Amino acid sequence: MDQAAASKGAPLAQLSHISQIYTNGRKRFVAIQDVNLTVSEGEFVALVGPSGCGKSTLLRILTGLQPPTEGQVLYRGDLLNDVNPHAAIVFQTFALFPWLTVQENVEVALKAREVPAKMRTSRALDLLDRVGLDGFETAYPRELSGGMRQKVGFARAMAIEPELLCLDEPFSALDVLSAESLRGELLELWQSGNIPTRTILMVSHNIEEVVLMADRAVIMDKEPGRVIANLNIGLAHPRQRKDQAFLEVVDRVYGLLAGQTQPEHIELGAMPGELGRLRGLPDVPINDLAGLLEHLAEEPNNRGDLYRIAEHLGLDSDHLLTLVEAAELLGFATVAQGDITLTPLGETFAEASILARKEIFASRLKRFPFYKWLLSMLREADQHRLRRGVIQTALEREFPPDEVDQQLNTAIDWGRYTELVSYDDDDDVFYLEPAGG
Ligand code: ADP
């Protein structure tokens, strides 16, 4: 299936049957599985999905920074075999040269593009003016706020006059106000047609940001990273976050991302070393999970719209969706069509005493294959103790490298909370308390 839903103009960049597989010893991680995606001239496309679903990898593949394991990248119909000279990427935190002024930081990009020296100054000044940095030309990066530094990043990306501007979480490192004003400025610049950029592709895990800015949301899921939906946003600009139509689209994106709760054996997945998909522990503090369940317990019918909950609890969508995943895994809630509903067990948990909560949580955690595996390893170990390194090595065969530490840390937090597994920080050892001790 080609995921070019609403092409505005001619196809600019096309991904055809792209897969990215990383190998670690004998283990293969499918970071991206068979993605087809076309971005066309005139489109503002957003890639949205949970952390680790392969958004940044797709961006690197699309711009030629990384060759895919399988599949083809086409740019204006031609096979892309190298870094795409017509594309630029703005990263989450833009690395500026601290010893150069704002203006010089932009001129560097022009120099790299072999713009003649005498034209560089006027071009740099013009670009800085367009991103609203007029008056800051001679400042050094350290004198600027995060938002302003990111604007220099935009100016520098724009200096190479990219046809395809790729933005990798460009606003996520900024404070709320700077992010919102920079979003507005970028949209204005894009809509004014005042820049040579034909197409914008933005990676984001912020649902509201996507609905505010993009024409189309390409929705991804992880394990393996893949495209699960294409949604034409279809709202006229300027968009208002409080409008009913806006909220309906946000609700749909939440619905697509949160999916639908599966039968328990599918939700729980397989054990390390077994065939089948291993589910890791979602990276959530138990207090936050309890907060979500308590909130739902106060809602009519113990049910809520995810987007309203995000707003009410002041949670970003990524964090909320991870909490929801944890609630589903533990059997505390079910999800369908963007709504979350407490199960009777979830309701019991929300209303239970501290001690009873621990017991409920422990009984659920014991059913979770990954935790069952950890407990059985510890039961079989000498003195029921295992060094962190041993578990780490075992997990390195199961999880991508950057996830192993998170899995270990969550296993420790949840183990301590439920008193199922203890951890000695001084010796970095997992152990089981003696029975009755
Ligand atoms: P996202 O941008 O959606 O957070 P990424 O594209 O950064 O996702 O990563 C997708 C998956 O690929 C993750 O599981 C990550 O751990 C894995 N990954 C990324 N780069 C490498 C690499 N060089 N080696 C091994 N795994 C990698």
For residue 151, the domain's CATH number is 3.40.50.300
Residues 210 and 183 in one domain: yes
Residue where one domain finishes, among candidates 344, 363, 382: 363
**Which has the closest alpha carbon to 360: 411, 428, 419?**
419
Residues 61 and 209 in one domain: yes
Domain containing 430 equals: 368-437
Pick from 90-99, 107-116, 270-279: least confident: 270-279
Structural domain includes residue 261: no
**DSSP state, residue 278:** B
Residues 153 and 68 in one domain: yes
Structural domain includes residue 4: no
> Which atom belonging to ligand 1 lies closest to the Cα atom of 60?
6
**Which has the closest alpha carbon to 321: 367, 269, 264, 253?**
253
**Which has the closest alpha carbon to 337: 362, 359, 307, 374?**
307
Report whether pLDDT(1) > 50: no
Instruction: Kindly state the tokens that stand for 141.
Output: 């990066």
Does the Cβ of 65 fall within 6 Å of ligand 1?
no
Which segment, 108-112, 258-262, 387-391, is predicted with the most confidence on average?
Answer: 387-391
Residues 6+ positions from 423 with CB-CB distance below 8 Å: 412, 415, 416, 429, 430, 431
Q: How many residues does the chain have?
A: 437
- How far apart, in Å, do the first and last CA atoms of the chain sit? 58
Give the pLDDT confidence of 199-224 residue by residue, as tens digits: 999 999 889 999 999 999 999 998 88
Structural domain includes residue 266: no
Distance 58 CA to ligand 1 centre (A): 10
Question: What is the rounded average pLDDT for all residues in the chain?
Answer: 90
**Which has the closest alpha carbon to 421: 374, 381, 357, 359?**
374
Give the whole-angstrom CA distance, residue 103 versus residue 109. Answer: 10
Among protein residues, the one with the nearest Cα to ligand 1's atom 14 is 52
Q: How confident is the model at residue 7 (pLDDT cuts 50, 70, 90)?
A: very low
Residue where one domain finishes, among candidates 345, 363, 381: 363
Does the Cβ of 68 fall within 6 Å of ligand 1?
no
Residue type, 300: P
Does the Cβ of 40 fall within 6 Å of ligand 1?
no
Does the Cβ of 273 fall within 6 Å of ligand 1?
no
Does the Cβ of 322 fall within 6 Å of ligand 1?
no
Kindly report whether the peptide bond that precedes residue 238 is cis, defined as omega within 30 degrees of 0: yes
Among protein residues, the one with the nearest Cα to ligand 1's atom 5 is 54
Distances (CA, A) of 431 to 222, 344, 385, 393, 434: 32, 33, 4, 17, 9
Ligand 1 pocket test: which of 20, 32, 51, 53 has the largest number of ligand atoms within 8 Å of its C-beta? 53
Structural domain includes residue 270: no
**Which residue reads 């999916």 in tokens?**
259
Residues 409 and 308 in one domain: no
Burial category of 385 from C-beta neighbours within 10 Å (exposed 0-12, middle 13-18, buried 19 and up): middle
Split into its structural domains, the chain has a count of 3
Residues 377 and 310 in one domain: no
> Which atom belonging to ligand 1 lies closest to the Cα atom of 58?
6
Give the pLDDT confidence of 126-160 residue by residue, as tens digits: 889 888 889 999 999 999 988 889 889 888 888 88
Give the pLDDT confidence of 282-310 residue by residue, as tens digits: 999 999 999 999 999 999 999 999 999 99
> Measured in whole angstroms, how far is the alpha carbon of residue 346 from the centre of its chain?
27
Structural domain includes residue 187: yes
**DSSP state, residue 67:** -
Residues 137 and 167 in one domain: yes
**pLDDT on residue 8:** 67
Give the whole-angstrom CA distance, residue 48 versus residue 194. Answer: 27
Pick from 250-264, 333-347, 420-434: least confident: 250-264
Q: How confident is the model at residue 4 (pLDDT cuts 50, 70, 90)?
A: very low
Give the pLDDT confidence of 178-191 residue by residue, as tens digits: 888 889 888 988 88
Residues 99 and 28 in one domain: yes
Give the pLDDT confidence of 371-403 residue by residue, as tens digits: 999 999 999 999 999 999 999 999 988 888 888
Residues 290 and 151 in one domain: no
CATH number for the domain that contains residue 305: 1.10.10.10
**pLDDT on residue 231:** 96
DSSP string, 98-110: TTS-HHHHHHHHH
Does the Cβ of 66 fall within 6 Å of ligand 1?
no
Give the whole-angstrom CA distance, residue 284 versus residue 317. Answer: 13
Give the whole-angstrom CA distance, residue 265 versus residue 96. Answer: 49
Q: How confident is the model at residue 436 (pLDDT cuts 50, 70, 90)?
A: low
Distance 365 CA to ligand 1 centre (A): 27
Residues 140 and 232 in one domain: yes
**Which has the closest alpha carbon to 110: 127, 91, 93, 92?**
127
Does the Cβ of 406 fall within 6 Å of ligand 1?
no
Report whether pLDDT(80) > 90: yes
Pick from 101-105, 241-245, 360-364, 393-397: least confident: 393-397
Distances (CA, A) of 66 to 70, 100, 240, 299: 12, 29, 37, 47
Give the whole-angstrom CA distance, residue 41 versus residue 76. Answer: 10
Structural domain includes residue 275: no
Residues 334 and 382 in one domain: no
Does the Cβ of 55 fall within 6 Å of ligand 1?
yes
**pLDDT on residue 435:** 72
Residues 6+ positions from 197 with CB-CB distance below 8 Å: 158, 161, 162, 163, 164, 165, 190
Does the Cβ of 402 fall within 6 Å of ligand 1?
yes
Mean pLDDT of 3-26: 80
Mean pLDDT of 71-83: 95
Structural domain includes residue 391: yes
Structural domain includes residue 209: yes
Residue where one domain finishes, among candidates 363, 383, 403: 363
**Largest Cα–Cα distance of the chain, in whole Å?**
80
**pLDDT on residue 3:** 42
Residues 385 and 427 in one domain: yes
Distance 12 CA to ligand 1 centre (A): 25
Give the pLDDT confidence of 349-375 residue by residue, as tens digits: 999 999 999 999 999 999 999 999 999
- In this prediction the pTM is 0.84
Ligand 1 pocket test: which of 57, 168, 222 has the largest number of ligand atoms within 8 Å of its C-beta? 57
Residues 293 and 394 in one domain: no
**pLDDT on residue 390:** 95
Mean pLDDT of 150-178: 87
Residue type, 254: Y
Buried b (16+ CB within 10 A) or exposed e, 297-311: eebeebebbbbbbbb
Distance 60 CA to ligand 1 centre (A): 11
Ligand 1 pocket test: which of 402, 405, 407 has the largest number of ligand atoms within 8 Å of its C-beta? 402
Give the Cα-Cα-Cα angle 180, 177, 103 (nearest 5 degrees). 80
